[in-house]
Structure 1
Amino acid sequence: MDTTLAVRARGITKCFGDVVALDGVDLDVAQGQIHGLVGPNGAGKTTWLGLLLGLAVADDGDLEILGTPIGRALAAPDGVAGFVDGPGLYPSLTARQNLAALSSRDDRTAGIDDALAEVGLTDVADDRVRGFSLGMRQRLGIAAALLAKPRLLVLDEPSNGLDPAGKKHVHGVLNRLAADGTAVVLSSHRMDDLEALCSEVTILATGRVVFSGPLSKLSTENRELEYRLRTSDPEAARKLVLDTPGAHVVDGSERQGAEVLVVRAQVPAVDELVVRLVHAGIAVRELAPVVSPLEAAFLALTEQQEINR
């Protein structure tokens, strides 16, 4: 048993009638890690989060959470908190009253105030939840989870409905928790959030893991990506792209403006191109993926899985 792992899963299978929701899933989540769960609708993400929260049990396989082997009872070990399909809240109660209903007596003063402050809801602590926006409800759900002082926090689409200020608060909370040793597993369709927060991701398709590992591996293991390239001399840059093995200009890139090229290449070819541009005295003003490595890998891997079904 590895005590540095918050989650250790081997061969996890879960079926609902004839539907195989999870098919032999292996997954490790380290303590202090923010781990993203990505996949199309029906990939098994919600089922997996439910297993971690003790809302369902696996039909087969071995699952350890916070060092505790999980059996066939519908229960999560102490130290696990979070929500699936949105937090369960009482609309007629205020934010503070909702947290009081979920907390122990010892937490009902400082703990509640601290949790509300952590997610930026102090100013609306005494407002009824029925008037809250989706983003405010998400933040209150996270505050409720924080009351348990979790060592594993499980969140389903935590950025739903968040405005920029709310997202900043939530990102700060999750990063602070991870820095203090809490493991965070979150599911999201927001690739920008996952790339900003997660050190590792797992991509699910049709109940199977098609990728699991550091985000940095996606750019090297994935096939070619398209990059926006803006330089001080677009015509000279175009010639250098054509002279760089493994790189080429995408047809029609000129429609994005005279100064922008769209270059398709793998990472080694992009590195070589940058070196050539610098040696030629051409300033690189912008070099960024048109589609992020995570999104590109997600699309490629899940599409391939569908083809192989």
Structure 2
Amino acid sequence: MDTPPAVRARGITKYFGEVVALDGVDLDVAPGQIHGIVGPNGAGKTTLLGLLLGLAVADRGTLEILGTPVGRALAVSDGVAGFVDGPGLYPSMTAKQNLTALAALRGDPTQTMNIDEAIAQVGLTDVADDRVRGFSLGMRQRLGLAAALLTKPKLLILDEPSNGLDPAGKKHVYGVLTRLAADGTAVMLSSHRMDDVEQLCSEVTILSTGRVAFSGPISKLASEDSELDYRVLTSKPAAARRIARQTHGIRLRDDETVKDGVELLIISAPIPSLDEFVKQLVDDGIAVRELAPVVSPLEAAFLALTEQQETN
């Protein structure tokens, strides 16, 4: 029998007074998928995640979570865990006491992960007996993830999970999410960091003014024919500039900079022209020391799609 999608939404609409927070949102999230929700402030990201966590109900549309239709009553579906607007924690309790209290609310110990295991997974073993009031924002985020892991979720909802994390903490948390997805858990996360979404997510939904501007694989956002700006650092910048002028489809920008005493070229090009440019550099014995988009393909598509949506 086919496994039902973790999330299936059709025409989801949500009002707050006269404000339309979500306007006919369709969404599909498969088990084992890490799905990003991105959009400008006020686009409806938190509202959508709140609906999935049972914190609110849609005014119109249909929503199925883990194969079960969501009714009108406020309720969290079995197998769903996570947080929006930061995890709710008791500051006067230790990390372990917080998780012990949450596990007790579940009632059935077979439905919860071992508390020490959950704390270890998010890298907080050394501070398990410290009071949460002394935790940094990143540590609170990690403890919130541990609290969600207690329920062995099949659908994990996270709002800005990298908020406050240092590079080591981010790497640790992203390792946890990747392993969860590999074991079949669907993960939905919102983030303002496009590089984080590109690194973690296989698919993304871009919201703008409560509507879906795009939903699908991230790879579909970057068309080979679309033109992006790239930073190019070479061993011979003057020669690279000459080749750039001679390569069809390459446009040299005027805002060159200097890195480590070497001129850094800024060019605009579609992928085929960029490939030809790099090939010509190599053929001429010019070393390419750095080649990176000025703005990531996801961020470029995000800006284009949301600006287009807002003008419609």
TM-score (norm 2): 0.93
The CA deviation string for residues 142-162 of structure 1, in whole angstroms up to 9 with x for no partner, is: 000000000000000111111
The CA deviation string for residues 79-107 of structure 1, in whole angstroms up to 9 with x for no partner, is: 00000111111111111110011114626
Greater mean alpha carbon deviation, residues 288-297 or residues 117-126: 288-297
Letter in 1 for 2:81: A
What is the distance in 2 between the residues matched to 1:172 and 1:166?
10
The CA deviation string for residues 6-43 of structure 1, in whole angstroms up to 9 with x for no partner, is: 11111111111111111111111111111111011100
Give secondary structure in 2 for the equivalent of 1:158: coil
Report matched runs for 1:1-309 at 5 Å.
3-103=3-103, 104=106, 106=109, 111-220=114-223, 223-254=226-257, 258-308=262-312
Count of aligned positions: 308
Letter in 1 for 2:305: L
Contact 2:256 2:263 in 1 (8 A): no
Contact 1:222 1:297 in 2 (8 A): no
110 and 17 in structure 1: CA distance in 2 versus 1, 3 angstrom threshold? closer
What is the distance in 2 between the residues matched to 1:249 and 1:109?
58
Letter in 2 for 1:34: I
What is the distance in 2 between the residues matched to 1:255 and 1:280?
22
Offset at 1:258?
4.0
The CA deviation string for residues 164-206 of structure 1, in whole angstroms up to 9 with x for no partner, is: 2211211111011011110000001112211111111111110
Give secondary structure in 2 for the equivalent of 1:5: coil
Greater mean alpha carbon deviation, residues 179-188 or residues 247-256: 247-256
Offset at 1:281?
2.9
**Structure 2 unaligned residues grouped into runs of 5+:** none
Offset at 1:283?
2.2
What is the distance in 1 between the residues matched to 2:289 and 2:114?
48
Offset at 1:275?
2.3
Structure 1 runs of 4+ aligned residues shifted over 6 Å read: 107-110
Greater mean alpha carbon deviation, residues 40-49 or residues 222-231: 222-231
Offset at 1:108?
11
Give secondary structure in 2 for the equivalent of 1:219: coil
282 and 4 in structure 1: CA distance in 2 versus 1, 3 angstrom threshold? farther
Contact 2:224 2:271 in 1 (8 A): no
108 and 206 in structure 1: CA distance in 2 versus 1, 3 angstrom threshold? closer
What is the distance in 2 between the residues matched to 1:73 and 1:27?
21
Offset at 1:213?
1.7
TM-score (norm 1): 0.94
What is the distance in 2 between the residues matched to 1:182 and 1:206?
29
**Structure 1 unaligned residues grouped into runs of 5+:** none
What is the distance in 2 between the residues matched to 1:110 and 1:203?
33
